[in-house]
Structure 1
């Protein structure tokens, strides 16, 4: 998305006087994947903001025609991009992110930029130690080739089926792939994979900031990409923040596509219920 489009959303949110909710998408998706969530939160009295990562195309069709625009985006660059947008808001927002967007969400919360946060199936930050076999398999198409580091990598349907859509039927899986899947920068996956060997890792999260705000972590029971072991390990570290509520919820029977599949509303309402308690 263009900086002009993102700025227009920030200005529109400011004009409402409502609490903004900033949605942060993860790899292989675009901001449009959040549209139904945005509508739900707007109906509940919030001002949704759906920014892209730097240089995100506007549509899935455009993204698949021009995959090279995704290449070379690292975690710090994306986090700084969202931090800049949040700085333009007239009040501290709720931040909700999925997958690598869930990691970015926790980075932003750790900087004291979020009123409250929800991290859904979040990519692991530095210090999260489990290495589930399913996560390694999901990441293999990218990190299996070191030459991919500066590239943008699409998922084949079979890879998407395993990584995102394993908990839905074949027809829905194909629909999700055709409707939402786009290429993604490989760099964040390499950064996450090597974070625990790098004291300067870009995936580092400041967990004990007294201004972190309340945090909910959501895990899909059947997620292959970020299974319960990873989300729960993040929760155990985040709950050491003595200044703010930290909670975790597991959504039964759901995979990594839980924010976009037919059951999205259950997850969105879980997030909304948490946010309402603190705003």
Structure 2
């Protein structure tokens, strides 16, 4: 991707890169369309391309899709696996500011849909008053979310098990991907998803999330009481090992402090791969139904 310019700030909160040419073109397309934009935010171990079917689905329903990356995201899975170093040292603050810049470039306040750490980032942006509605799917926890199930710790252990991973990009083996994402799928589909979607991920966000409740200055925090947060839906996969119900439900209860509509729903039999596996459309329809009620 070609960056339009580079920021001079060295703050951890500053975006590592400014908006890429591809992202700028998406924003311009959305603004020119006059349609309601929907911004899709991916999480760890995935790329923006993981949202391609969702983007088409929402556009067929009359919206305009924007699928930004995290700073320095490669265009393809093959490129990402060939150059994992580009993911290293990306922090939650850098990514949130990158997305903040993109969202503020839209002429209409967007719907924001995020999965996993993308679900956390979607809530962060909503907590700044930047979303007309938000759907957080199996969202990573933020400061104040207390449950830490064993399965979530095991899913994060490929990163958290080595302190040096704080500054590295970390790939998942197939066995690790199977546990973290594809535990609710058969072996063949798990292998297909691993080959099609899995890429290395920065270790920093997981270390930040793990320490969020011990660090009052953490970047992993959400303003749950912002008066312009807008309607929020949390979607949880019943069999998710990475973000089990206890984490999603704790996030929901913190968000209930807001005066806006706050809802939660559980997708039966689904794991963390629920946005990319064979059942993605059911999850997308659940999100679309919620969005249509308010936007």
Superposed displacement of residue 183, structure 1: 0.3
Report the 3-state secondary structure (helix = DSSP H, G, I; strand = E; otherwise coil) of the residue aligned with 1:203: coil
* Distance in structure 2 (CA, Å) of the matches to 1:169 and 1:113: 39
Q: Name which of 72, 90, 114 aligns with 1:73.
A: 90
What CA distance in whole angstroms lies between the structure 2 residues aligned with 1:130 and 1:19?
Answer: 36
Which residue does 1:94 correspond to in 2? 111
Q: Which residue of 2 aligns with 1:59?
A: 76
Residue 155 of structure 1 and its aligned partner are, at CA, apart by 0.2
Are residue 191 (structure 1) and residue 208 (structure 2) matched? yes
1:156 is aligned to 2:173: yes
Whole-Å Cα distance in 2 between the matches of residues 194 and 90 of structure 1? 36
Q: SS of the residue aligned with 2:277?
A: coil
> Within the alignment, does 1:215 sit opposite 2:221 as a pair?
no
Aligned mate of 2:261, from 235, 238, 245 = 245
The partner residue of 1:42 within 59, 65, 68 is 59
Structure 1 stretches (4+) deviating beyond 6 angstroms? none
- Counterpart selection for 1:119 from 129, 136, 161: 136
Structure 2 equivalent of residue 172 of structure 1? 189
Give the TM-score normalised by the residue count of structure 1.
0.99
Q: 2:253: which partner in 1? A: 236
| Number of the residue aligned with 2:49 | 32
Matches of 2:113 and 2:48 in 1, distance apart? 12
Listed as ranges, the gaps of 5+ residues in structure 2 are 3-19
Q: Equivalents in 2 of 1:31, 1:147: separation in Å?
A: 27
Listed as ranges, the gaps of 5+ residues in structure 1 are: none
* Alignment partner of 1:276 is 2:292: yes
Number of positions where the alignment pairs a residue of Structure 1 with one of Structure 2: 278
RMSD between aligned residues: 0.5
Report whether the alignment pairs 1:105 with 2:122: yes
Aligned match for 2:152, one of 123, 135, 157? 135
Please name the residue that 2:14 is paired with: none
In 1, the alpha carbon distance for the partners of 2:258 and 2:277 equals 32
**CA deviation after TM superposition for structure 1 residue 240, in Å:** 1.1
